[in-house]
């Protein structure tokens, strides 16, 4: 868990800490605080630290610049420089470097006790981590153990979630395009932190955490239209920032209450499944069919859907496999083109007479009449079901 540097800076202004440069880097996340006095020590940084330096080990003017540069290269979140005893000032070269690289550099007078400031920051980080774990566990309980209200309602009350607010549970599924060379667990941390930063301007209206390869975002006390706009912008930014990953979004229009987070989650999960189907490059699904997909996804058992498909289009699929024909492709295209022969023939790059022959053959194999509304509807439903199996 980490804390936004901007939040910490607002907290430590009372300790006379001043931002000198790198304001755009205030979006950085802070994992911990650390004292660093030399480039050698900076080489062991792990990233995400908010650093302190007094200049105790510095022998020349260049030493401070080299230290700042090295800590930035080691992905530290920012550095606080004590001015007055070993360091007289932060020169223009450092200011320019930090502004160019969005690396926050702060100053504080020598008389301010470092120990108190570091202790205060550490306490804020620990407190934030504790609150994060507590709330994320409460939301998980509300979603996956909805009958055990005693596990989550007291926490919701503690953090200020109101019973009369509207809530939206959204889901982002994250998948790797290159499973062998990408550590998805590490990427999930980066993605969650990115979301936290991007939605920082609505800080009090959302909470995000990860479960497996899903990121769950709960919005509170905000209109659906605003939530939808936020998620659209976030989705675009995620696709641009993490080009090696695939993202699928699920967000239901219906809001939920504190006691029905599980309903919001399940509804959004079904939307996510539909979006995955729509994104499948092998499918050509009309948006007008989405309500039918939702109806099927609401079914508790998929076994009946499977049997229905196997007894109808499944027969055609088996015939294709045995005879090296393409009748399943033909009938699928036929429905994708609203059962219009000319459009279907054009889509398949075949002559209309050839299509007529194939459609007649399909009717013979399946023992159906596509002019009959019952048979036509049955096959139409099967063309949808095949994407859900």
End-to-end alpha carbon distance in the chain = 38
Residue 27, phi then psi, degrees to nearest 5: -75, -10
Give 263 or 190, the one with higher predicted confidence. 263
Q: Which residues contact 351 (CB under 8 A, 6 or more apart)?
A: 345
Q: Which region among 117-126, 168-177, 323-332, 365-374 has the lowest average model confidence (pLDDT)? A: 117-126
295: which 2 tokens?
Answer: 């109806």
- Contact 29/197 with Cβ under 8 angstroms? yes
Query: In this predicted structure, what is the pLDDT of residue 15?
Result: 82
**Residue 355, pLDDT above cutoff 60:** yes
Query: In this predicted structure, what is the pLDDT of residue 295?
Result: 60
Mean pLDDT value across residues 172-198: 83
Give 117 or 98, the one with higher predicted confidence. 98
Query: In this predicted structure, what is the pLDDT of residue 27?
Result: 82
Give the span between the Cα atoms of 188 and 212, in whole angstroms.
9
Query: In this predicted structure, what is the pLDDT of residue 287?
Result: 47
Alpha-helical runs (H) found in 286-369: 290-297, 303-310, 313-323, 327-336, 341-348, 352-366
β-strand pairing of 206-211 with 214-220: antiparallel
- pTM score, two decimals? 0.65
CB atoms within 10 A of CB 6: 20
Mean pLDDT value across residues 155-183: 89
Q: Which residues contact 84 (CB under 8 A, 6 or more apart)?
A: 109, 110, 111
Residues in the chain: 389
Alpha-helical runs (H) found in 75-113: 92-100
> Token pair 């900076």 is at which residue?
42
Instruction: Tell me what percent of the residues of the chain surpass a pLDDT of 70.
Output: 92
**Residue 299, pLDDT above cutoff 80:** no
Mean pLDDT value across residues 279-283: 54
Give the span between the Cα atoms of 3 and 200, in whole angstroms.
11
Give the span between the Cα atoms of 257 and 263, in whole angstroms.
9
β-strand pairing of 105-109 with 167-176: unpaired
Local confidence band at 271 (pLDDT 50, 70, 90 cut-offs) = confident
Give the span between the Cα atoms of 55 and 60, in whole angstroms.
10
Give the span between the Cα atoms of 179 and 213, in whole angstroms.
13
The edge-to-edge listing of strands for the beta sheet with 78-83 is 18-21, 105-109, 78-83, 49-53, 32-35
182 SS3 class? coil
Q: In degrees to the nearest 10, what's the CA dihedral of 203, 209, 214, 218?
A: -50
Q: State the chain's mean pLDDT as an integer.
A: 88
169 SS3 class? strand
Among 47, 56, 52, CA closest to 17 = 52
352-366 helix and 313-323 helix, angle to the nearest 10 degrees: 110
- Contact 20/105 with Cβ under 8 angstroms? yes
Query: In this predicted structure, what is the pLDDT of residue 12?
Result: 85
Mean pLDDT value across residues 104-133: 87
**Residue 154, pLDDT above cutoff 80:** yes
pLDDT in tens, 53-108: 999 988 888 999 999 999 999 999 999 999 998 999 999 999 999 999 999 999 99
Range 288-309 burial, b when 16+ CB lie within 10 A, else e: ebeeebeebbeeeeeeebeeeb
pLDDT in tens, 209-224: 999 999 999 999 999 8
Q: Which of 181-190, 300-309, 365-374: highest mean pLDDT?
A: 365-374
**Residue 39, pLDDT above cutoff 70:** yes
Give the span between the Cα atoms of 359 and 370, in whole angstroms.
9
Local confidence band at 194 (pLDDT 50, 70, 90 cut-offs) = confident
pLDDT in tens, 44-67: 998 889 999 999 988 888 999 999
DSSP 256: B
- Contact 81/55 with Cβ under 8 angstroms? yes
- Contact 27/198 with Cβ under 8 angstroms? no
Give the span between the Cα atoms of 269 and 271, in whole angstroms.
5
């Amino acid at each position: 868990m980490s804390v936004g540097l901007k939040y910490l800076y607002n907290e430590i202004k009372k300790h006379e800490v001043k931002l000198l440069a790198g304001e755009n880097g205030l979006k950085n996340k802070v994992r911990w605080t650390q004292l660093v006095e030399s480039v050698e020590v900076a080489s062991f940084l792990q990233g995400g630290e908010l650093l302190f330096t007094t200049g105790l080990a510095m022998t020349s003017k260049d030493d401070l610049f080299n230290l700042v540069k090295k800590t930035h290269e080691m992905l530290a979140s920012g550095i606080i420089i004590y001015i007055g005893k070993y360091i007289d000032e932060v020169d223009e070269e450092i200011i320019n470097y930090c502004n160019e690289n969005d690396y926050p550099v702060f100053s504080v007078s020598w008389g301010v006790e470092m120990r108190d400031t570091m202790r205060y920051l550490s306490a804020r980080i620990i407190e934030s981590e504790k609150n994060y774990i507590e709330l994320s566990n409460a939301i998980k309980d509300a979603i996956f153990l909805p009958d055990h209200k005693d596990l989550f309602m007291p926490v919701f009350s503690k953090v200020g979630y109101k019973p009369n607010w509207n809530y939206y549970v959204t889901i982002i599924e994250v998948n790797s395009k290159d499973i062998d060379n990408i550590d998805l667990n590490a990427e999930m941390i980066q993605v969650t932190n990115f979301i936290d930063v991007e939605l920082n301007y609505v800080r009090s209206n959302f909470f995000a955490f990860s479960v497996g390869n899903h990121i769950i975002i709960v919005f509170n006390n905000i209109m659906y239209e605003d939530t939808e706009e936020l998620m659209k912008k976030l989705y675009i930014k995620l696709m641009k920032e993490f080009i090696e990953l695939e993202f699928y979004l699920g967000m239901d229009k219906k809001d939920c209450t504190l006691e029905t987070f599980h309903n919001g989650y399940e509804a959004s999960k079904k939307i996510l499944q539909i979006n995955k189907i729509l994104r499948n490059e092998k499918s050509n699904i009309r948006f007008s069919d989405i309500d039918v997909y939702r109806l099927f996804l609401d079914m508790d058992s998929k076994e009946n859907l499977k049997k229905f498909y196997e007894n109808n289009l499944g027969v055609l699929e088996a015939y294709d496999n045995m005879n090296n024909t393409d009748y399943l492709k033909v009938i699928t295209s036929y429905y994708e083109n609203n059962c219009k022969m000319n459009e279907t023939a054009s889509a398949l790059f075949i002559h209309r007479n050839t299509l007529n022959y194939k459609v007649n053959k399909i009717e013979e194999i399946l023992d159906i009449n596509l002019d009959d509304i019952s048979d036509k509807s049955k096959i139409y439903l099967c063309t949808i079901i095949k994407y859900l199996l």
